Chains A and B, each alone.
Chain A
Amino acid sequence: MKILIVDDFSTMRRIVKNLLKDLGFTNTVEADDGKTALPILQKGGIDFLITDWNMPGMTGIDLLKAVRANPNLANMPVLMVTAEAKREQIILAAQAGVNGYVIKPFTAATLKEKIEKIFERIEG
C-alpha cells in the first residue's frame, strides 16, 4: 500500500506520515501541492491519496477533480485533511467525490478512524 501525502506545510506532512507509520503504513510519498502531486499520481503505483485543500499552485479540490476526471485514477480513494470547515466547502468536496473529510486540528484517533473506514469500504 503506497500512500501520497499532499500538504504545503512540511510539518503537517511529517505528522500524517508518522501517524501512518504508527498504523502500519510505511510506504509514503510526499508532495507540496496539487501541481507536484498530479505527475506522481499519473506515474502510477499510488493506492491512496491524502490531501490538504488550501495550497498554492493547485488546490486539493482541483487535484481531487483532476483525479476523478482521469480514467486511470478515478477510483483512487481520497481523504481530505484540511482547515477549511465551511459547510458549503464540505458539500463541494463531497460532490467532487471525496471519500473522507477530516478538519484540522485533528486527533490521531480521528485520522485512524477515517482511514480505516475508507479501507473497509474498498475491501468490502
Chain B
Amino acid sequence: MMNEDLLTLAKNLVAALEKGDQALADGLLDELAGLRETQLFKEIGRLTRQLHDTMVNFSVDAKITEMTEHDIPDAKERLHYVITMTEQAADQTLTAVENLLPISQTMNDQVERLASKWGRFLDREMPLNEFKAMSAEISEHFNRSRSELALVQSGLNDILMAQGFQDITGQIIRRVIDLVQDLESSMVKLISIAGRRAGADDDGQKSHELPGPVVPGVDDRAGDVATSQDDVDDLLSSLGF
C-alpha cells in the first residue's frame, strides 16, 4: 500500500519534471518527504512503546525477584513466629488453669465441710469440744484461703498477660497479608504485560512506614532494634531519661 503510494508519487514526479512543471514537482517532493516523516514517526513510536514495556517489565521482574528472594522467606519466618507466640500463650494459659483448678477444688471442699459443721452449730447440735475444734479449723481455713487466693490472683494475672499475643500476631499477620497482596498485584501486572495489554503505570506505593513488631531472626539482623525492655531503658537513659 505504502509502496504503491510511493511508486505513484515517483511516477507523477518524473512526469512533472519531464513536462517542466516545477510547481507540481515541488508539491510532489513535499508529499514524498511527508510520507517518509510519517513512517519515521510511526517507527519511533513503536520503538518507544517497546522500550517502555521492556522497562516496566524489567521493574516488575525485579520486584518479584526481590519478593521471592527476600520477602517470602521473611514472611515464612514471621508466620513461624506467630505459631511460636500463639503456642506460648496457649501453654501459659493452660498451665495457669491447671494450677488454679486444684486450688479452687480444695477451697470448695473445705468450705463444704465447714458449712455443714457451722449448720450443726447453729442448730445447737454441737458439743463444746467439737466447737473448739471447729474454731481452730475456721482459723486455719482463713489462713489457707489467704495464701491460696494470692495464688489465684497471680494465676489470673498470668492468663491476662498471655493474651498479649493477639496484638503482636495480629500486626505480623496483617503485614504478611499486605505482602501477599503486593505479590498478587505484581503478578497481575506481569500477566497484563505478557498479554501485550497496556499496564497501569502507577506503582503501588510502599506501604508501612512503621516496621512493627520485631520478629527474632528477621528484624533484628541489622542490630538497629531494641530487643528487650532493658535495651529501651539503656537507650532512654543515654538520652538523659
Contact = CB atoms under 8 A, between A and B. Distances in A.
A-B interaction: yes
Interface stretch (B13-21, B114-122, B196-204, B219-227): B219-227
A103 B160 contact: no
Contacts of A59: 210
Interface in A76-98: 83-91, 94
Contacts of A41: none
A107 B230 CA distance: 12
Interface residues on B, range: 20 to 34
A15 B161 contact: yes
Interface in A9-36: 9, 11-12, 14-15, 18-19, 22
A94 B167 contact: no
A104 B168 contact: yes
A87 B229 contact: no
Nearest to B239: A94
A106 B170 contact: no
Nearest to B223: A87
Interface residues on A, range: 20 to 34
B222 to A, nearest CB: 9
A101 interface: yes
Contacts, number: 83
B211 A104 contact: no
B167 A86 contact: no
B164 A15 contact: yes
B59 interface: no
A85 B226 contact: yes
Contacts of A101: 232, 236
B235 interface: yes
Contacts of B228: 103
A83 B224 CA distance: 14
Interface of A: 7, 9, 11-12, 14-15, 18-19, 22, 53-54, 59, 83-91, 94, 101-108, 110
Given A9-B170, A103-B228, 11 more contacts: A9-B167, A11-B164, A85-B214, A86-B211, A89-B210, A90-B226, A90-B235, A101-B232, A103-B229, A105-B168, A106-B164
19 contacts: A9-B166, A9-B170, A18-B160, A19-B160, A54-B171, A54-B210, A84-B210, A84-B211, A84-B212, A86-B211, A86-B226, A87-B226, A87-B235, A90-B232, A103-B226, A103-B229, A104-B164, A104-B168, A110-B229
Interface of B: 157, 160-161, 163-168, 170-171, 210-214, 224-229, 231-232, 235-236, 239, 241
